[in-house]
């Protein structure tokens, strides 16, 4: 099963976005659900520079076990793959579940 997590806010600052990251990291080792994460705002640098060991642990695990970490904006992060809206639409069509976290519309 493929689950697409679209995270609209920065997990460093937003508790709902942080919870989304925690859930994705928690289910990824099972192997039964493969989460793919897409950050819809330019938050990759904030995540990469986060001084939060919990967020670092989630990201480290997700880099190893997820279906990919993507961003809709070119934020310069080495570990986030740049994707456009058409690419995101393809990810949504290929996912069994799409979950959106945050406040963006």
Question: Structure tokens of 61?
Answer: 């695990």
Instruction: Please say whether the beta carbons of 70 and 91 come within 8 A.
Output: yes
95: containing domain:
2-101
Please indicate whether residue 105 or residue 36 has the higher confidence score (pLDDT): 36
Instruction: Provide the domain count of the chain.
Output: 1
Full-model pTM: 0.87
Confidence at 105, pLDDT banded by 50, 70, 90: very low
Mean of the per-residue pLDDT values of the chain: 86
Question: Residue 59 belongs to a domain with what CATH number?
Answer: 3.40.1260.10
- Strand boundaries in the chain, DSSP class E: 2-7, 34-39, 68-71, 81-82, 97-101
Question: Which of 35, 22, 99 lies closest to 64 in space, CA to CA?
Answer: 35
- Which residues, in sequence order, are bridge partners of residue 11? none
DSSP state of 33: S
């Amino acid at each position: 099963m493929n689950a697409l997590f679209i995270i609209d806010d920065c997990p460093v600052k937003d508790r709902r976005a942080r919870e989304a990251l925690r859930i994705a990291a928690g289910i990824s080792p099972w192997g039964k659900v493969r989460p793919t994460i897409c950050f819809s705002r330019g938050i990759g640098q904030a995540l990469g520079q986060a001084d939060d060991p919990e967020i670092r642990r989630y990201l480290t695990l997700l880099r190893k076990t997820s279906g990919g970490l993507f961003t809709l904006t070119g934020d310069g992060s080495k570990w986030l793959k740049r994707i456009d809206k058409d690419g995101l639409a393809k990810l949504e069509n290929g996912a069994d579940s799409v979950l959106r976290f945050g406040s963006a519309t």
